[in-house]
Amino acid sequence: MKILVVGANGQIGKHLVRLIQEDDGSQARAVIRKEEQADFFKELGAEVAIVDLEGEIEEIAKAAEDVDAVVFTAGSGPKTGKDKTLMIDLDGAVKTIQAAEQASVKRFIMISSFDTSREAIQAASESFAPYVVAKHYADQWLLTTDLDYTIIHPGMLTNDPGTNQVELGEEVERGEVAREDIAATILATLKTDSTIGKRFQVVAGTTPIEEAVTSI
């Protein structure tokens, strides 16, 4: 299985590319923005595509040629303004969805925010609300497509070492989760067809990731 990882240079993305490359029968194609980011991925044996998510859909579609699945893990980051949140977390996500459609890639994994409901938008702080809005509408766009989607809603992300154990469900109590465990959850999701058409929240827990994913 060849997997296009959009936002590969992010913290979840780096974990995911490594796990894909360690997985027998899987190959990652890392979408990054700058050539100087490439060495990390080439050393893992991953393919690399240099793409600006603020560019044209066709650039993303070219990177998606001949892959079996697309994973959107990109994000503008907490240090950018509302403009980058709009351009990456919303427009970049929608363009990646459209690029997958153009490239005839059916499987699509979206890494969203823990809660993207209208209620969550209203409850969010002034600084966080634009991010929740962007994720809300990106999720909604994906839901209207014919793609074989899964939307993953992680809890508060940490850089703690992964435990390979999570709590996962349509609704779980808010909590933290290691980025490494989210990456492992993505890979398990890609291998589990029963997750197609599903969306679920993930926090740290006591259930092995593969077991949690297959039970959803």
Catalytic residue numbers? 131
Judging by beta carbons within 10 Å of its beta carbon (0-12, 13-18, 19+), is residue 38 exposed, middle or buried? middle
Rg (CA), the chain: 16
Give CA–CA dist 213/110, Å, rounded: 15
The amino acid present at 67, given as its one-letter code, is V
Strand partners, 49: 31
- Gap between the Cα atoms of 201 and 193, Å rounded: 18
